[in-house]
Structure 1
């Protein structure tokens, strides 16, 4: 690395932004393991929505989605539809009921609803695996950003970024406090949309609402350069598109660190309205990502710098930053954009590592191994788990298996094939039992990884269960297996069925 390669102004802005959040996190720090990742005061529906959006925004949203849209055009809108549609599914099917159960984590819900330590263990292992896969995508984004900021190689960037990210989590403790997340979302939305507005203005398009103004740029691409950005299935078939949309929807509704957000609201009505506001705040980012992709293609074409496919794929995950550079934005504005992207990845890494740590320290160590564990020992286990999980993620991220959004989609597929069916039947069907849920979740794991395991030997497996889209067929199969096995085995304990009937569905809270 040489000093000439360092982007000083963006680096200073990124460092200042992260430092401000570390200070904020330290001030709000909690010393109880019960708050290490999931605590936080209730701060209203609007604030809760901002917290949900901040909890959701990641490198996949900030960088990966723009990269896929840049590569695939219309086809990549499956990510926009799937990830936003998942929140609608969650709103309709589970938000209020999750609040009424009032459990601490996804494994907590599964273990108590199905009265099974075994089901809790399987769910905890799946939650940890989801965290590792999801974190790998974030580490790739962090690595690319740090490599660009410091003018160094990707491996050096990902190692440096990993060290900073883990230090960020350990030093600050609970960075998931809801009020802090409101501030995080404000930073994210400003840093993503402000450069886009300036970019649209410089290119001569409607800048006040660039989410609408970029439509003219799509027409210009087609008219001037013959690039059709709206061809529906140029990058895949209708089946693949539908499978990806469905998988991302059910995966969103089953993602552990998303579900945990509903445990801190005071009533069902606020749970629903927080989710509605969260969906709106998330959509502001998602409506903006396609504009970056279109402007990138337009700037390349007008500059005579259209890269070959392999080169385009290599830089797709950082195309949002490159678009700002190609558009001639000032360094301080590019720094603001980079700060938002880095913050999004860091916030998500913090949430995911804490989710995985909670599964190890609370759901496995405390609930299954040492029920008498003190808060101090649980905190020590949680912090050790953060470091251990980060080390595993770092090793994988040094040689990432795909684009940021594609890696993230695998985590969603796993959640959609396992956690989502367990929650859906656990809430809505009192006859579902531990035998059914354990068999179903294990089947879901097998289905998720069927393509890398069996795809080469049985080609039809790869066609029916794509790695990023396996829940389209997989989730219904898992639900069917859970129902069949539950009917063939003894029913769950009567007290569980009574709680479900009386407390979850039998009354409505005052609204």
Structure 2
């Protein structure tokens, strides 16, 4: 992929932007494990929403989503509906209730609700696995951008990108702070929307709101070049669409680094309104991704550039090709690269800090070093952060035929099959117990792994449980298993049932 040419102006823009982030991060470094990876003290509900949106705006959203629309047209709407629908699910069923539990991490919630250290450890291991899988998608996105910036091949770009991520976090401190995340979201939205406005204006479409103006481009693409972009199931069956959509929905409601945003907000209403603002901020990006894909196809068709559906790396960089083929100034492309790097860096840092916090808080002081001091936990978190970064880097170096968004979907499948059922039943069904949730989470891990390990030899598994979409059937199955096993075994303590009745469901709004 490398062309041995350094893109100097875009590189300067990226360096300047990250220098700004580092200065912001240095002002609010975290020195306690209670803050390492989880931010409290938000100044407003808008700030909570910005933190949620910034953590969410990953390479899968900034780069991968447009690439999926570019290759699969309407079918990629499953990502938009699933990811945003997951936040609606959180808003309606879980956000305020999670805040009422007042726990620290997803494993901490599981341990408290189900009164089991075994369940805590299993949830921590799953949270770490989710962080690693999701980080692999981010490292792939970072590597593609680094490869474009420096004109180097993919493998050295992965190593360089991983080194930059680790250095950035170690220098600037924890990224989960309100001021830094508000700044990051502002940069992300400017970097994503401004180039799109310039592209639609150049083509003569309604550019003030390009999310609504690109419909004319879809019509032109069909009438002039015969490409029917909005055809519903040209690239997959209705079952595949719904399976992907609901897997992403359940997974969104089960991602540990998303759930963590509700543990330490000031109050119940702050949790709800922060989520509403976050959903709005996220939607601004999602409404724009299909426009980039349509304009990219239009520029290629008009310029006689051959369509290469097998070139997945180029598809993941379709927002850059749209800007380049559209003749936009180099600084605009640099702005897009800076935005993509920021999205990937903030998300991968948040994911790894979440995984590191799960290790240093839920595993290290309980299984490895009982009685560890606060400073010991912080050192353990930092060391495990490096381990996670190394593991994700090695996995990102492995060849794969999956796009950025598809790799991310694997993490959502695992979260949807394990953490989501544990939280949902833990909040809304008082009879759920530790035996049931441990059994259910183990079954969820098996369901997620089955298409990856047995899909080739047992084709029916990949038909019913696609690797990226297994939670559509898997999550309901796990819920049934948890309920069945819980019913057949001893109920949880009266203390927990009383807590659910009086502290979670019957308490007044804060």
Classify the TM-score, shorter chain.
over 0.9
Q: CA deviation at 1:458?
A: 2.0
Residue in 2 that maps onto 1:473? 473
Residue in 2 that maps onto 1:167? 167
Report if the CA contact (8 A) 1:162-1:390 is conserved. yes
Report if the CA contact (8 A) 1:113-1:426 is conserved. yes
1:148-184 per-position Cα deviation (integer Å, ceiling 9, x unaligned): 0001111111111100001111222221101211111
| TM-score under structure 2 length normalisation | 0.98
Correspondence 1:374-393 to 2 at 5 A? 374-393=373-392
2:447 match: secondary structure:
helix
1:229-278 per-position Cα deviation (integer Å, ceiling 9, x unaligned): 01100110000000000000010000000000012212111111110111
Report if the CA contact (8 A) 2:199-2:328 is conserved. yes
Residue in 2 that maps onto 1:112? 112
Residue in 1 that maps onto 2:133? 133
Residues 1:424 and 2:392 are matched in the alignment: no
Q: CA deviation at 1:438?
A: 0.3
Residue in 2 that maps onto 1:152? 152
Residue in 2 that maps onto 1:346? 345
Correspondence 1:45-124 to 2 at 5 A? 45-124=45-124
Q: Could you list the runs of 5+ residues in structure 2 that have no partner in the other structure? A: none
Residue in 2 that maps onto 1:215? 215
Report if the CA contact (8 A) 1:140-1:400 is conserved. no
Q: CA deviation at 1:52?
A: 1.0
1:349-402 per-position Cα deviation (integer Å, ceiling 9, x unaligned): 110110110111111012444342111111110010011011111111012531
Q: CA deviation at 1:496?
A: 1.3
Measured in 2, the distance between the counterparts of 1:356 and 1:123 equals: 11
1:202 match: secondary structure:
helix
Q: CA deviation at 1:309?
A: 2.3
1:399-426 per-position Cα deviation (integer Å, ceiling 9, x unaligned): 2531100000000000000000000000
Residues 1:456 and 2:436 are matched in the alignment: no
Moved over 3 A (4+): 1-4, 367-371
1:134 match: secondary structure:
helix
1:449 match: secondary structure:
helix
Check 1:133–1:197 CA distance in 2 against 1; reply closer, same or farther (3 A cut). Answer: same
Report if the CA contact (8 A) 1:136-1:400 is conserved. no
Report if the CA contact (8 A) 2:4-2:150 is conserved. no
Q: CA deviation at 1:27?
A: 1.1
1:306-356 per-position Cα deviation (integer Å, ceiling 9, x unaligned): 233223x23111111111111111111111111000000000011011011
Residue in 2 that maps onto 1:358? 357
Check 1:285–1:3 CA distance in 2 against 1; reply closer, same or farther (3 A cut). Answer: closer
Measured in 1, the distance between the counterparts of 2:386 and 2:131 equals: 13
2:214 match: secondary structure:
helix
Check 1:361–1:329 CA distance in 2 against 1; reply closer, same or farther (3 A cut). Answer: same
2:41 match: secondary structure:
coil
Q: CA deviation at 1:3?
A: 9.5
Report if the CA contact (8 A) 1:86-1:250 is conserved. yes
Measured in 1, the distance between the counterparts of 2:344 and 2:2 equals: 25
Report if the CA contact (8 A) 2:119-2:438 is conserved. yes
Report if the CA contact (8 A) 2:67-2:315 is conserved. yes
Q: CA deviation at 1:494?
A: 1.7
Report if the CA contact (8 A) 1:36-1:173 is conserved. no
1:236 match: secondary structure:
coil
Report if the CA contact (8 A) 1:66-1:290 is conserved. yes
Check 1:453–1:15 CA distance in 2 against 1; reply closer, same or farther (3 A cut). Answer: same
1:33 match: secondary structure:
coil
Measured in 2, the distance between the counterparts of 1:415 and 1:238 equals: 23
Measured in 2, the distance between the counterparts of 1:72 and 1:448 equals: 24
1:74-132 per-position Cα deviation (integer Å, ceiling 9, x unaligned): 00010000000000000000001000001111001001110101000110000000000
Residue in 2 that maps onto 1:336? 335
Measured in 1, the distance between the counterparts of 2:493 and 2:3 equals: 66
Residue in 2 that maps onto 1:251? 251
Measured in 1, the distance between the counterparts of 2:169 and 2:494 equals: 42
Q: CA deviation at 1:4?
A: 6.1
Measured in 1, the distance between the counterparts of 2:163 and 2:367 equals: 31
Q: CA deviation at 1:449?
A: 1.3
Measured in 1, the distance between the counterparts of 2:203 and 2:422 equals: 49
Report if the CA contact (8 A) 2:176-2:350 is conserved. yes
Report if the CA contact (8 A) 1:366-1:372 is conserved. yes
Measured in 1, the distance between the counterparts of 2:308 and 2:16 equals: 37
1:449-498 per-position Cα deviation (integer Å, ceiling 9, x unaligned): 11122222222111110000001100010000000000111111221111
Q: CA deviation at 1:11?
A: 0.5
Report if the CA contact (8 A) 2:87-2:253 is conserved. yes
Correspondence 1:226-375 to 2 at 5 A? 226-311=226-311, 313-375=312-374
Residue in 2 that maps onto 1:34? 34
1:307 match: secondary structure:
coil
1:171-211 per-position Cα deviation (integer Å, ceiling 9, x unaligned): 22221101211111000000000011011111111110110
| Residues matched between the structures, number | 509
